[in-house]
């Protein structure tokens, strides 16, 4: 399975998602590592097995073993951080936002790939998981790392489209 196979599974009522998957797969504003890492990290965050398998098949040979591991690590660590930081931000009691998280996050300091790539993947996962604090934090790092607003937007478009594809397929599976 690949992105093309995934596109074929998207029903006609979600044709725009199918078209966006094709457009984003040929996107050139990001390096291939950045792009395919954003695809895979977003797919992992989506939790839909069909999407994860299709994207994983697509990235085979396009990501180094180190980048593949770092992409998975970004999805994993942000799965934890997004919940924690979104919660502390949304709670009325602001005390929690000033407390140290006391959660291990060592991979952020040594992700095994270029910091800007890892941060971009973390940004994409944060978009899928809806954590504004994390989005702001990672956007700041990637912009300071030299990425443009257009490149950040591309990662956000990938996250949004992958999330939508996962939602459509999860809905279809439930209706079957």
Residue 7 is among the residues annotated as catalytic for this protein: no
CATH number at residue 49: 1.20.1290.10
| Whole-number average pLDDT of the chain | 94
From 116, 131, 155, 169, the catalytic residue: 131
pLDDT of residue 155: 98
In total, how many domains does the chain have?
1
From 134, 155, 166, 168, the catalytic residue: 134
Using a 10 angstrom Cβ sphere, with 0-12 exposed, 13-18 middle and 19 or more buried, the burial of residue 92 is exposed
Supply the Cα-derived Rg of the chain in whole angstroms: 16
H helices of the chain, in order, are 3-9, 15-25, 32-46, 49-59, 65-90, 95-98, 106-109, 115-129, 132-144, 149-175
Residues 34-93 have pLDDT tens digits of: 999 999 999 999 999 999 999 999 999 999 999 999 999 999 999 988 988 899 988 899
The residue segments making up the domain with residue 159 are 3-175
* Percent residues over pLDDT 70 in the chain: 99
* Percent residues over pLDDT 90 in the chain: 80
Contacts for 37 with CB less than 8 Å, ≥ 6 apart:
59, 63, 67, 70, 71, 74, 117, 120, 121
Does the pLDDT value for residue 96 go beyond 80?
Answer: yes
Residue given tokens 């994860």 in the structure block: 52
Q: Give the integer Cα–Cα distance in Å for 81 and 54.
A: 26
Residue 135 is among the residues annotated as catalytic for this protein: no
Does the pLDDT value for residue 101 go beyond 90?
Answer: no
| 1 confidence band (pLDDT: 50, 70, 90) | low
């Amino acid at each position: 399975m690949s992105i093309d196979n995934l596109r074929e599974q998207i029903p006609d009522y979600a044709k725009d998602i199918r078209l966006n998957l094709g457009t984003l797969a040929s996107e050139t504003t990001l390096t291939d590592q950045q792009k395919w890492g954003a695809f895979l990290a977003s797919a992992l965050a989506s939790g839909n097995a069909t999407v994860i398998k299709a994207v994983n098949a697509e990235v085979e040979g396009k990501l180094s073993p180190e980048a593949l591991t770092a992409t998975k690590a970004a999805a994993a660590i942000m799965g934890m951080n997004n919940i924690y930081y979104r919660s502390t931000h949304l709670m009325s009691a602001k005390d929690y936002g000033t407390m140290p998280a006391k959660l291990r996050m060592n991979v952020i300091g040594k992700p095994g790939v270029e910091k800007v790539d890892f941060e971009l993947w973390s940004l994409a996962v944060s978009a899928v998981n809806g954590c504004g604090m994390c989005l702001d934090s990672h956007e700041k790092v990637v912009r300071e790392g030299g990425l443009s607003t257009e490149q950040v937007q591309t990662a956000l478009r990938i996250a949004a489209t992958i999330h939508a594809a996962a939602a459509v397929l999860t809905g279809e599976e439930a209706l079957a």
